[in-house]
Chains A and B, each alone.
Chain A
Amino acid sequence: MRKSLSDRLIAVIALAISAVVFLALPHDVPGTSLATFADMESAAFFPMLAATLVGVSAVMLAVGSLNTSSRRADDDVDAIGPRPVLMVIGFCIFIPLIHGLGMVTASAITILVLPLVFGYRDYRWILPLAVLLPFAVYGLFEKILKVLFPHGAVF
């Protein structure tokens, strides 16, 4: 993807976020309107200020990107590869896994599986790590720092 295009894409996303905030605020803080800008003490003022900053910088960015593409050679932004997507899926599975099986078991499974995404298959290292690290985490967090993880069905 072209950098100027990705910049414009960000600008559009940012403008959308800004718009959502402006639409949501009157619902959150009754009596909000554009006139709230004059009332810095209102609960809606600060979110409006932030949303405006997002909007204005988005416009600045969009203008800048048009400028760049007309004047200079445009350069590339990497596309998103499959591995990060796999990792995110892994993270998303990790959460229900912790609830279902418990923190220690879920961590062990994660350490067994995630190296595959990195193309690492040396189980002489992965196996001991999958056993030791979850217990080290358990010992440090639950026993010393008294953080109670979800224990789930297994542990």
Chain B
Amino acid sequence: MAEFPDKPITFVTPYPPGGSHSLHAGVITTVAEPYFGQPMISVIRKGGGGVVGAAGVMKAPADGYTLLFGDPTINSLRPQVEDLPYGTDDFKAVARINYSPAVFVARADAPFKDLKSMIAYAKSNPGKLVHSNDNKNGFTYTVFEMLKFKTGTDMKGIIYGGGGPAIAKILGGETVAYAGAPSVVGEHIKSGKLVGICTTDFEPWPSLPDVPTCKSLGTDIIFHFWRGVVVPKATPEPVVAKLSAGFEKLVQDKGFLRLIGKINSRVDFLGHKKFDALLKKEQADLKALYDSLK
């Protein structure tokens, strides 16, 4: 057999065009060719909130030519809590490209301005604090479940089916709180429409230095929405290692770094071994959280 890869590699994004995933996929695939010796083709297979694309990759030949651009909801959370055609162990980790924390935000005219008063408000008005959610078991949904669980509060989340409508409804005033990626809420915090409550990371996010971490405020919520590459589990180890090495060089590309900066993102690369360990831990943590909610 010729040396891997000897034909174009398909890079499957399981979300519709326009989201942060497809944007990252566009950047990655445009600069990929020199690092793999073959073109990398971005394919968008949307549907079922990422499930269709993931199930498609799972069924694809495990030869390293079909990659899934995954994230925590489709790779770690939903296969454990929903009845999906694939499980968490159907995929093998290749590389994490980066992650975003969630930033909890509130409307500027909300009756709370920081985490402490938000919790107090939620406690004294159970079920009255209305917040925007993305999808069931999605990114925003998960961090709000964590917040409710850790603080013992009851809030009302409305599922809008995506980050776009979710933020539209908080700006329009239908809801008062939301949690989203820094690139999405950052501009609204800077313009004063929304107030940053806290960040689900170990350190404050560089572009939002004034928003403290939730942990530093005494509510230990760490959640990283990573964007990473996974392959079907039967993919041979040398192929995975080669892909991982290719991505490691790719994320140091000058053009890549310039573009990734422009889309308000960054690189937090992890190779296949470390990423695998992280995935396993995350899956166990989310399972524990979900079980405790039942």
Contact = CB atoms under 8 A, between A and B. Distances in A.
A146 B43 CA distance: 8
Interface in B19-63: 41-43
A148 interface: yes
B235 interface: no
A148 B8 CA distance: 10
Interface of B: prevailing SS? strand
A148 B43 CA distance: 9
Interface range on chain A (Cβ under 8 Å from partner)? under 10
B220 to A, nearest CB: 33
A148 B42 CA distance: 10
A138 to B, nearest CB: 15
B207 to A, nearest CB: 32
Contacts of B8: 148
B135 interface: no
Nearest to A148: B41
A94 B10 CA distance: 25
Interface in A111-151: 146, 148
Nearest to A146: B41
Nearest to A147: B43
A23 B126 CA distance: 39
Contacts of B43: 148
Contacts of A148: 8, 10, 41, 43
6 contacts: A146-B41, A146-B42, A148-B8, A148-B10, A148-B41, A148-B43
Interface of A: 146, 148
